[in-house]
């Protein structure tokens, strides 16, 4: 199995503005145990109150934002350092939504230079949907439901950016291993 590192990014967004309130990142490769992946998260101040529904969904409160948030500049530097250190494939692994474009947009709106990710994404939800349709199975559901269909436990709590990024990466490597087995069986 390939030791190429990959990066998964997940965001939690406030509503209805879709401003970022949390950034989560996980970096690792298919040869690692999931507990050895690099994980990071940062709260971001959306400059507005957190919608009560979003607090119920994510657990992120206005207090979290006031006491633990980081600037976009800081997050960009931290991401850059992680990318330089671990040298992941620069097309991020995401679950069903192009969080990378949302992050880039907020960086641009704040004049934060960040040129360290590829222009494409690897959307694991699309891959999962393909596999489900190919097997005449129902593709509906979120990340944890999709993982359950493959008997892969979801670690942590859903709708926490770092946990979602971690589980997306773990699921991606499981799917990669299944694809590798499929190809080996062809030959």
**The predicted structure's pLDDT at residue 186:** 67
Position 182 pLDDT exceeds 80:
no
Percent of the chain with pLDDT over 90: 82
Q: What is the pLDDT of residues 71-108, one digit of tens each?
A: 999 999 999 999 999 999 999 999 988 999 999 999 99
Residue 60's CB is within 10 A of a number of other CB atoms, namely 21
Residue-level pLDDT at 32 = 95
Strands (E), 99-182: 121-123
Confidence (pLDDT) at 179: 78
List the domain range (segments joined by +) for residue 169.
Answer: 6-186
Cα 164 from Cα 24, distance rounded (Å): 8
Kindly state whether residue 34 falls inside one of the protein's structural domains. yes
> Is residue 90, in this structure, part of any structural domain at all?
yes
Average pLDDT over residues 42-64: 97
Using alpha carbons, select from 100, 96, 84, 97 the residue that is nearest to residue 25: 100
Q: Yes or no: say if 24 and 51 are a contact pair by the CB < 8 Å rule.
A: no
How many structural domains does the chain have?
1
- Distance in angstroms between the alpha carbons of the first and the last residue of the chain: 17
* Domain-embedded: residue 1: no
pLDDT category at 187 given cuts 50, 70, 90 is low
- Which stretch of 11-15, 47-51, 69-73, 132-136 has the lowest confidence by average pLDDT? 132-136
pLDDT for position 100 = 95
Please say whether the beta carbons of 162 and 114 come within 8 A.
Answer: no
pLDDT digits (tens, 9 = 90+) for 109-147: 999 999 989 889 999 999 999 989 988 988 888 999 999
Domain presence at residue 87:
yes
187 against 127, higher pLDDT: 127
Query: Residue 157 sits in a domain of what CATH number?
Result: 3.30.420.10
Comparison of pLDDT for 35 and 177, the residue scoring more: 35
DSSP per-residue codes, 49-111: PPPHHHHHHH---HHHHHHHEE-HHHHHHHHHHHHHHH--EEEEEESSS-HHHHHHHHHHHTT
For residues 94 and 26, the answer to whether their CB atoms sit within 8 Å is no
User: How high is the pLDDT of residue 119?
Assistant: 86
Confidence check: pLDDT of 28 > 70: yes
Alpha carbon distance 144, 135 (integer Å): 19
Domain annotation covers residue 101: yes
Question: How much is the average pLDDT of 33-55?
Answer: 97
Q: Is residue 150 part of a domain?
A: yes
Q: What is the pLDDT of residue 38?
A: 98
pTM here?
A: 0.93
């Amino acid at each position: 199995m390939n030791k190429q590192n990959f990066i998964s990014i997940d965001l939690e967004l406030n509503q209805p503005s879709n401003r970022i309130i949390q950034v989560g990142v996980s970096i690792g490769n298919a040869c690692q145990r999931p507990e050895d992946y690099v994980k990071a998260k940062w709260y971001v101040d959306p400059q507005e109150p957190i919608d009560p529904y979003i607090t119920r969904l994510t657990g992120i409160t206005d207090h979290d934002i006031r006491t633990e948030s980081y600037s976009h500049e800081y997050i960009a530097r931290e991401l850059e350092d992680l990318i330089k250190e671990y040298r992941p494939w620069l097309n991020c692994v995401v679950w069903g939504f192009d969080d990378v474009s949302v992050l880039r947009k907020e960086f641009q709106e704040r004049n934060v230079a960040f040129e360290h990710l590829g222009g494409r994404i690897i959307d694991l939800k699309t891959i999962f949907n393909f596999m489900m349709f190919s097997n005449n199975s129902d593709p509906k559901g979120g990340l944890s439901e999709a993982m359950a269909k493959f008997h892969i436990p979801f670690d942590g709590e859903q709708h926490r950016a770092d946990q979602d990024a971690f589980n997306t990466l773990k699921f991606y490597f499981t799917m990669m291993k299944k694809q590798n087995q499929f190809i080996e069986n062809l030959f």
